[in-house]
């Protein structure tokens, strides 16, 4: 046990003291905080303003196309050729020509002229607005009261509430569940590859430098492999804990500065929505409509507080640790079976296929998190670290979570035992290309 501790200590401190570890520990939180904050900031920025000159030969749309913050309509009567000269020198960047018989055409086709192509959102806004206007005109032509139809149209906003065992209602959000589940799964995926490959490279390096021959004269090969795996795992946990703390500090500070007013508006809106549910709905609808709809991305981040973060972090820590330990043992076995990193490809593919398949499976699991396929792959040890993290925010039954964790521990012990069989023989094999048949023989060699 003392020798195992010395190996773990050597692996841990030799990596923690490297400059690359310190650099990544600092850059990691900045990158993660940037991934959380930059999309929100970009979504909230004022987008490019488009000045559109409308040449409406039908007269149906004059002064009826509503302006937005990004799209401004101006109406003219000149010819298209004359209007095109205004594209170069301004003030317009788009010219829209509408044919004279738009109301009676089965398909109205406005023509947009531009020098710089607009985004798809501009075209969609024009299309939807014109369709609504033509719809109203045609209803009026059939003597249908458009005002009554407008009053009958009301947006529907679904509020999802989970009824807990004690009878209380908890607000949930499917989009946020997906974001958290996939976010945790992606982190586990990259961490397994990052630190698992470190174990593999370390084994190959010691093998090619013949250092391992000296080491195994003092310790058993299995102890060496286990010490290397645990040592790198502790490095990963240290770095990850620092990343979480620094990321939370940076993102909290930036959110408090940049998004203070938006967060307050969202919290106020959520409070009113809860009041509507508890009291008279009709008495509060008008008040809610007076509040500007908050940015959707901001609202999603604010609703993260409704998720059991402690449960998610505890499960994440478990699946990250044991998922890494399982795959690190396989990476160590691969490293012991080859003489250089170029030869690892034939053995690495079968190891990585379950990880890659997990993300493919996760796409369908989101649509039905309680399906038989979701249950199986969240319990199967090679896929459970990723699949279960995707399912977890959707309230997985306790017995499934416990069975998944148990199977992952059993899987870790089983694959570590297999990896140890390969490692003890392969670590001292040189100058020979290893085949799958050869690996099979190593499993049955006696010590």
Helix, strand, coil % (nearest 5) of the chain?
70, 5, 25
Residue 370 lies in a domain: yes
Q: Are residues 256 and 396 in the same domain?
A: yes
Residue 238 lies in a domain: yes
CA 203 to chain centre: 32
Residue 132 lies in a domain: yes
Residue 97 lies in a domain: yes
pLDDT at 410: 93
Tally of domains within the chain = 2
> In angstroms, how far is the first alpha carbon of the chain from the final one?
20
Tokens standing for residue 372: 């038989």
CATH code where residue 100 lies = 3.40.190.10
Tokens standing for residue 123: 């075209």
Q: Are residues 145 and 183 in the same domain?
A: no
d(CA 160, CA 175): 11
pLDDT at 163: 63
pLDDT at 293: 46
d(CA 444, CA 439): 9
Q: Are residues 183 and 91 in the same domain?
A: no
The length of the chain in residues reads 447
Residue 44 lies in a domain: no
Last residue of a domain, one of 116, 149, 182: 149
Q: Are residues 346 and 420 in the same domain?
A: yes
Tokens standing for residue 244: 């979480």
Of 307, 331, 302, 306, give the one whose Cα is nearest residue 184.
307
Say if residues 215 and 206 touch (Cβ distance below 8 Å).
yes
Tokens standing for residue 432: 């020979």
Q: Are residues 124 and 177 in the same domain?
A: no
Of 241, 209, 215, give the one whose Cα is nearest residue 228.
215
Q: Are residues 206 and 111 in the same domain?
A: no
d(CA 85, CA 167): 68
3-state secondary structure of 95: strand
Say if residues 170 and 302 touch (Cβ distance below 8 Å).
no
Q: Are residues 127 and 198 in the same domain?
A: no
Q: Are residues 206 and 332 in the same domain?
A: yes
Residue matched to tokens 């490809």? 345
pLDDT at 143: 67
Burial 226-258 (b: 16+ CB within 10 A, else e): bbbbbbbbbbbbebbebbeebbeebbeebbeee
Q: What are phi and psi of 180, to 5 degrees?
A: -65, -45
Say if residues 87 and 113 touch (Cβ distance below 8 Å).
yes
pLDDT at 283: 44
Say if residues 262 and 237 touch (Cβ distance below 8 Å).
no
Per-residue pLDDT of the chain (447 residues; tens, 9 = 90+): 677 888 888 888 888 888 888 888 888 778 777 776 676 666 555 566 788 888 888 888 888 888 887 888 989 888 888 888 877 777 888 888 887 666 666 566 788 888 877 778 888 888 888 888 888 777 776 666 767 766 666 666 666 666 666 666 555 566 677 777 788 888 888 888 888 888 888 888 877 777 776 777 777 877 888 888 888 888 888 888 888 888 778 877 776 776 666 556 656 665 655 555 555 444 444 444 444 444 455 555 555 555 667 777 888 889 988 998 899 888 888 888 887 777 777 788 888 899 888 888 887 877 788 888 888 999 999 999 999 988 887 778 889 999 999 999 999 889 888 888 888 777 777 666 777 777 777 777 665
Q: Are residues 93 and 212 in the same domain?
A: no
Q: Beta-strand (E) ranges in 79-139?
A: 94-98, 111-114
Residue 42 lies in a domain: no
Say if residues 360 and 274 touch (Cβ distance below 8 Å).
no
Residue 412 lies in a domain: yes
pLDDT at 408: 93
The burial of 266, by beta-carbon neighbours within 10 Å (0-12 exposed, 13-18 middle, 19 or more buried), is given as buried
Say if residues 118 and 95 touch (Cβ distance below 8 Å).
no
3-state secondary structure of 52: strand
Tokens standing for residue 280: 């008279």
Q: Are residues 379 and 342 in the same domain?
A: yes
Last residue of a domain, one of 117, 134, 149: 149
Residue 40 lies in a domain: no
Residue ranges making up the domain that contains 338: 172-442
Q: Are residues 122 and 179 in the same domain?
A: no
Burial 76-104 (b: 16+ CB within 10 A, else e): eeeeeeebeebbeeeebbbbbbbeeebee
Q: Are residues 178 and 106 in the same domain?
A: no
pLDDT at 282: 46
């Amino acid at each position: 046990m003392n020798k195992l501790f010395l190996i773990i200590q050597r692996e841990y401190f030799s990596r923690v003291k490297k400059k690359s570890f310190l650099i990544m520990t600092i850059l990691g939180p900045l990158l993660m905080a940037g991934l959380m904050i930059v999309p929100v900031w970009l979504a909230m920025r004022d987008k490019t303003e488009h000045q559109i000159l409308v040449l409406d030969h039908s007269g149906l749309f004059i002064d009826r196309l509503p302006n937005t913050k990004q799209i401004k309509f101006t109406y003219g009567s000149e010819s298209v050729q004359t209007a095109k000269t205004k594209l170069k020198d301004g003030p317009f960047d788009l010219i829209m020509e509408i044919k004279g018989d738009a109301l009676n055409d089965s398909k109205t086709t406005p023509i947009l002229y531009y020098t710089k192509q607009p985004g798809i959102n501009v075209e969609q806004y024009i299309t939807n607005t014109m369709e609504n206007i033509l719809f109203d005109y045609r209803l009026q032509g059939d003597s249908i009261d458009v005002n009554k139809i407008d009053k009958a149209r009301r947006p529907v906003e679904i509020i999802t509430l989970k009824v807990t065992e004690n009878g209380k209602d908890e607000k949930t959000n499917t989009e946020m569940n997906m974001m958290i589940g996939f976010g945790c799964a992606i982190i586990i995926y990259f961490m397994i590859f990052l630190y698992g490959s470190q174990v593999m490279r370390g084994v190959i390096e010691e093998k090619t430098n013949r250092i391992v021959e000296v080491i195994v004269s003092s310790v058993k090969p299995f102890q060496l492999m286990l010490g290397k795996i645990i040592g790198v795992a502790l490095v990963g946990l240290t770095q990850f804990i620092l990343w979480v703390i620094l990321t939370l500090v940076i993102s909290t500070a930036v959110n408090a500065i940049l998004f203070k007013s938006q967060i307050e508006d969202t919290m106020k809106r959520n409070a009113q929505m809860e009041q509507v549910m508890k009291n008279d709905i009709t008495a509060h609808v008008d008040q809610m409509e007076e509040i500007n709809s908050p940015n959707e991305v901001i609202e999603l981040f604010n609703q993260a507080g409704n998720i059991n973060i402690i449960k998610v972090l505890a499960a994440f820590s478990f699946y990250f640790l044991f998922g890494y330990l399982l795959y690190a043992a396989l990476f160590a076995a691969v490293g012991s079976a080859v003489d250089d990193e170029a030869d690892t490809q034939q053995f690495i593919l079968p190891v990585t296929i379950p990880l890659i398949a997990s993300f493919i499976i996760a796409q369908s699991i989101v649509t039905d998190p309680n399906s038989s396929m979701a249950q199986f792959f969240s319990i199967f040890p090679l896929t459970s670290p990723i699949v279960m993290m995707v399912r977890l925010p959707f309230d997985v039954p306790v017995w499934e979570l416990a069975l998944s964790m148990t199977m992952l521990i059993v899987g870790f012990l089983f694959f570590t035992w297999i990896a140890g069989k390969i490692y003890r023989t392969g670590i001292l094999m040189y100058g020979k290309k290893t085949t799958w048949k050869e690996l099979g023989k190593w499993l049955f060699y006696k010590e």
